């Protein structure tokens, strides 16, 4: 359910169309995205836009029930893991293997691709409701 804030037309439309338990993925530049999943490609160059900034913008505009990340982020990119947990305070965080994550991401309503080059900078957001 949409709050306010995101200016990108496609992301704003996606957020407005999200229902309870719908999923959206925000990913780094390298996550494979199948042809059949709606790709919102924001990547301009390495690091632009950053994964954390995009996650924060979406978090400010969407009711979030759960966040799913790859287990590997805790060892390989712990600073990103912490930043995501700081953005989604009070939201359940679930960790799964990266292989399972890649499969799960294909069930998302859309995948937002950032220019991030930090390994495992990927998350799946499960939409909640505001009532």
The pLDDT of residue 5 is: 84
Q: What angle do CA 104, 105, 108 make, to 5 degrees?
A: 105
The pLDDT of residue 114 is: 98
Whether residue 2 lies inside any domain: the answer is: no
Whether residue 39 lies inside any domain: the answer is: yes
Q: Which of 20, 79, 82, 85 is catalytic?
A: 20
Mean pLDDT (the chain, rounded): 96
Rounded to two decimals, the pTM is: 0.95
CB distance 125 to 40 below 8 Å: no
Q: Is the pLDDT of residue 3 over 70?
A: no
CA dist 97 and 103 (Å) reads: 10
Q: Is the pLDDT of residue 2 over 80?
A: no
Mean pLDDT value across residues 83-112: 98
Whether residue 92 lies inside any domain: the answer is: yes
User: Domain range for residue 67?
Assistant: 9-127
The residue among 45, 13, 39 whose CA lies nearest residue 26 is 39
Whether residue 4 lies inside any domain: the answer is: no
Whether residue 54 lies inside any domain: the answer is: yes
Return the CATH number at 27.
Answer: 3.40.1650.10
Whether residue 1 lies inside any domain: the answer is: no
Whether residue 108 lies inside any domain: the answer is: yes
Whether residue 78 lies inside any domain: the answer is: yes
How confident is the model over 19-57, as pLDDT tens digits?
999 999 999 999 999 999 999 999 999 999 999 999 999
Count of structural domains, the chain: 1
20 labelled catalytic: yes
Q: At what angle do helices 78-87 and 51-59 cross, to 10 degrees?
A: 20
CB distance 58 to 12 below 8 Å: no
The pLDDT of residue 71 is: 98
């Amino acid at each position: 359910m949409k709050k306010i804030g995101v200016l990108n037309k496609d992301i704003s439309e996606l957020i407005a169309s999200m229902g309870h338990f719908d999923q959206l993925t925000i990913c780094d530049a390298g996550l494979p995205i199948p042809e059949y999943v709606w790709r919102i490609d924001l990547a301009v160059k390495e690091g632009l836009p950053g994964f954390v900034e995009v996650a924060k913008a979406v978090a400010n505009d969407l009711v979030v029930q759960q966040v799913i990340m790859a287990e590997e982020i805790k060892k390989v990119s712990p600073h990103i893991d912490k930043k995501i947990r700081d953005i989604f305070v009070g939201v359940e965080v679930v960790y799964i293997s990266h292989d399972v994550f890649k499969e799960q991401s294909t069930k998302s309503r859309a995948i937002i691709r950032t220019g991030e080059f930090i390994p495992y900078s990927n998350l799946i957001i499960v939409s909640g409701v505001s009532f």
